[in-house]
Structure 1
Amino acid sequence: MAADFLPGFARHRIDTAPGVTIYARSGGSGPPVLLLHGHPQTLSTWLHIGPRLAERRSVVAMDLRGYGDSSKPEGGGRHEAYSKRVMAADAVAVMRALGHERFAVIGHDRGGRVAHRLALDHGEAVEKIAVFDIAPTATMYARTDKDFATRYFWWFFFIQPAPLPERLIGADPDYFLRHHIENQSKTPGSTPPDLYAEYLRCYADPACRHAICEDYRASAGIDLDHDAADADKRITTPLLALWGAKGTVGKTYDVLATWREKAHDVTGRALDCGHTLQEEQPDEVLAELERFLA
């Protein structure tokens, strides 16, 4: 039997759009908080954070569409089914189905990009937003240089037309996934074997790998169009940005400055780790979140 990384959390399957069901877990009571994972993780990445937040809050963790045990619909001609606008709408639908009209949202990596769009499109629903180890998508593409393209090669590999990246990754998903996680994390052992096995269970599914590529294709296309249309719009709720001092984002960008171009009230700092803060430095992450959410 697969390990349960969020013991005591209820399991939900929530229809958010025709043909789309989102898998979510919920636990605790109090002010609501939504947790959104990144690539190549699933909601299980919150194993250290979710239960401890749930001691004082109503915590919901969900698998983004295309990831984990959520639906993996076809992307469409412009990959619009994986636009962050559509993925943000999934998040709102999940929270409303669980009785939460207004909530804080915490997003790592791809989940942070969904959280960004969520705060722009559904500002009335978002009380506070925290993003982990990202700069805004449009900023990162606009300021791409050789160093960034080398470090984050999958941003340009995944967006190639199907089925090229899907077939190449499919030749050895275990190798690709292990290389990706070990390269991103700077804290040996922070993704233990049972958690890695959970990620590989999902990554081994061809539909999941295709959906992941569609997610990145959307970010390089329709998401940039949405961002351009909202270029003058600012997030009005408080935003916390945390990033890994040893990771690519922190070494490549002035992270706080990039978010101050997009939001009015921005705080944050670097942590002594790589990309996956919630697995590498959970105690520090939790302390920052407790101060921010208080």
Structure 2
Amino acid sequence: MYDDFTPFDLTVGPADGGHPTDRVRIHGVHGGEGPPVLLLHGFPQTHAMWAPVAEDLARDHTVVVTDLRGYGASGRPEPRDDHAGYSFRAMAADQVEVMERLGYDRFAVLGHDRGARVTHRMLLDHPARVERAALLDILPTGYVYDHTDRRLATAYYHWFLFIQPADLPERLLSGDPIGYLHTALGGWGSGLDAHPVEAVADYERAFADPAARHAMMEDYRAGASIDLEHDAASAAGGIRISAPTLVLWGEQGVVGGNAESPLEVWRREAADPGLVEGEPVAGAGHFLVDEQPAVTTASLRRFLNR
């Protein structure tokens, strides 16, 4: 996994002033040669999830794959009362600086799950940096909260568990963290066996760490608070997606079962609906990169090479 990639650790954020959570170490790997593309993972995964896609794209792209702050081998800043240290805005700023430090002022971004939400925020906060973007198996955060029904609440129960005040969810997960991890990985798609063994081992190493689990809870707490404030402020200011965007979702997943087409939902988030294209991935649930790697990679490659 990533045999031909070079690992890196970069500390990003302002060196002086500001809050300590504004500065964090980001772990990742990079490899290949060609137009730059950044790959961002989601919960409960790490950069390991992208290995098959990254290795394919590296044939003709420079590929950067990172762990989000709080996840994998990246730093876990102390939480703040307002959860801003784990906001998608903070995570997006991390990744923009990583790419800048590696020499890329403008690049494509592919994000899955929480990484796709970071990508959405990057599209709004850093439009000059994003050449094009792919959002995998998500609906906008505010849309999810505004349209929660019994079906969605049953599938996304963890959203409502994880946002409870510390340290209730942390203590509940501590009883059998690896068992919970396996349930999450196997419960939103084709089963645990769909995930590569090496990747699962990387997820297990991170999830076994109580500090990592706490950081993940902080991510979700931010998603239900300050992230919604940032999204509302962007909408009020007329800030919309302005880069070509691909939306992919698992045909058999929760997003695919939404009453409204995910493509139509995301087109409303763009300055020009024509900027957004998308399609379902047949035979996939939430973890479409793992469940249908060849089909997903082909869709991403077509989009990047236009």
TM-score w.r.t. structure 1 length?
0.96
1:260 to 264, 267, 272: 267
Which amino acid in 2 is paired with 1:239?
T
Matched, 1:15 2:11: yes
Q: How far apart in 1 are the matches of 2:5 and 2:219?
A: 27
Match of 1:292 in 2: 303
Point out where structure 2 has 5 or more consecutive residues left out of the alignment: 16-22
SS of 2:205 mapped into structure 1: helix
**CA RMSD across the alignment:** 1.1
Q: How far apart in 2 are the matches of 1:130 and 1:194?
A: 25
Matched, 1:212 2:212: no
Match of 1:269 in 2: 279
Which amino acid in 1 is paired with 2:120?
H
Match of 2:54 in 1: 50
Q: How far apart in 1 are the matches of 2:198 and 2:49?
A: 12
Q: Give 1:1-294 correspondences, 5 Å limit.
A: 5-17=1-13, 19-186=23-190, 189-231=193-235, 232-252=238-258, 253-263=260-270, 264=272, 265-272=275-282, 273-294=284-305
- How far 1:136 sits from its partner (Å)? 0.7
- How far 1:135 sits from its partner (Å)? 0.6
Asked if the contact 2:247/2:263 (under 8 Å) is kept, the reply is yes
Q: How far apart in 1 are the matches of 2:55 and 2:165?
A: 40
Q: How far apart in 1 are the matches of 2:174 and 2:191?
A: 27
Of 151-160 and 190-199, the range deviating more from structure 2? 190-199
Which amino acid in 2 is paired with 1:219?
G
Give a deviation string over 1:3-24, Cα, whole Å, max 9, x none. xx21111011111125410001
Asked if the contact 2:170/2:217 (under 8 Å) is kept, the reply is yes
SS of 1:262 mapped into structure 2: coil
Give a deviation string over 1:186-242, Cα, whole Å, max 9, x none. 266211333212111100000100000000000000000000011132111001000
Percent identity over the alignment is 48
Of 115-124 and 276-285, the range deviating more from structure 2? 276-285
Asked if the contact 2:87/2:219 (under 8 Å) is kept, the reply is yes
Q: How far apart in 1 are the matches of 2:201 and 2:8?
A: 22
Against the structure 1 CA distance between its residues 166 and 188, is the aligned structure 2 distance closer, same or farther, given a 3 Å change threshold? closer
Q: How far apart in 2 are the matches of 1:217 and 1:261?
A: 26
TM-score w.r.t. structure 2 length?
0.93
